[in-house]
Amino acid sequence: MRITRLVAGLVSLLIAAALSFVGTSSTAAPAPAKEARTISISTKEYKPNRFALQGDITGSGKINYIVERKLCNQKTGANRPCKSAPWKRFEKDRTNDNGRYYERIANPPKGKNHAWYRVRTFESPKYVAATSGLIKIYVIRY
């Protein structure tokens, strides 16, 4: 009885030592950390009551981005869109070689008086996904 316990204890120690040795001898290099993108966003009135989003996205080359829109009716704070409305894709495009973008945006449709816009990029092997700040368009209808 004592011998079987002793043999079982030694075998378990050998297995534990072998597993810890195998776990530390891996040759896989750790993955490099992904860089964060920054997205600047601003509006430009290119005609009376016609607006466009413009800004730049850090990174190299042409970058895919999407413009998302949220339509609301309720009155909210200056920097908070209504929580019940979902973000929907408004436009999908690419930046120029310098990372600049320019996108015309629409006024809210009838029945809605608030429109919120933001720009998003997707995750890539080098960068993490990023989201810009919010732009609000408020329409007063008579």
> Token pair of 131, please?
């989201």
- Could you count the other beta carbons within 10 Å of the beta carbon of residue 120? 16
pLDDT tens-digit series, residues 121-137:
999 888 999 999 998 88
Residues (pLDDT < 50) of the chain are 25
Can you name the residues that pair with 64 across neighbouring β-strands?
Answer: 94
80 Cβ contact list (under 8 Å, min separation 6): none
First to last CA, the chain: 95
pTM for this predicted structure: 0.71
Instruction: Return the SS3 of 18.
Output: helix
Contact 45, 129 (CB under 8 A): no
pLDDT tens-digit series, residues 7-29:
566 556 557 666 565 555 455 56
